[in-house]
């Protein structure tokens, strides 16, 4: 699959990095972790590896809420990522353009997911 298949431009000038804050749907987190670790998400083109890396960077910043930063090539923020993954596992996403990857304070979201397994 190509970026054009998902209406994502192939040109580098459209790369943006976003700060994302979202509520996670607790009862769906075991399934999400399974898809993160069994290759389902990582092998998704064109953005699976970035989704996995983003979730490894994500932090629980308040009960039921995580924050992370993520690179995206789509003109609409995280369009493909939301359609294929995020909208199944998260709600109330707040997305802002930032200059570079950001670190957030809090518990590692990935470590939280590991404990559920």
pLDDT at 13: 54
Contact of 43 with 49, CB cutoff 8 Å: no
Peptide bond before residue 58 is cis, with ω within 30 degrees of 0: no
Q: Which CATH class is domain 14-116?
A: alpha beta
Instruction: Tell me the percentage of the chain whose pLDDT exceeds 70.
Output: 89
Secondary structure of residue 92 in the 3-state scheme = strand
Q: Is 38 exposed, middle or buried (0-12, 13-18, 19+ CB in 10 A)?
A: exposed
pLDDT band, very low/low/confident/very high, at 12 (cuts 50, 70, 90): very low
Which tokens hold the place of 87? 């909208």
pLDDT at 1: 34
Contacts of 12 (CB under 8 A, 6+ apart): none
Place of tokens 């976003």: 18
Domain edges within the chain? 14-116
pLDDT at 5: 41
Q: What is the pTM of this model?
A: 0.86
pLDDT band, very low/low/confident/very high, at 76 (cuts 50, 70, 90): confident
Instruction: Tell me the percentage of the chain whose pLDDT exceeds 90.
Output: 82
Contact of 73 with 79, CB cutoff 8 Å: no
């Amino acid at each position: 699959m190509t970026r054009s298949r998902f209406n994502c431009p192939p040109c580098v000038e459209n790369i943006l990095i976003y700060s994302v804050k979202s509520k996670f749907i607790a009862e769906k987190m075991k399934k999400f972790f399974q898809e993160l670790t069994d290759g389902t998400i990582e092998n998704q083109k064109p953005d699976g590896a970035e989704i996995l890396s983003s979730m490894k960077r994500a932090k629980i910043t308040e009960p039921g809420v995580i924050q992370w930063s993520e690179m995206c090539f789509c003109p609409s923020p995280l369009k493909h990522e939301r359609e294929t993954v995020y909208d199944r596992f998260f709600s109330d996403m707040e997305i802002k353009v930032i200059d570079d990857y950001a670190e957030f304070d809090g518990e590692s979201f990935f470590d939280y997911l590991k404990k559920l397994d």
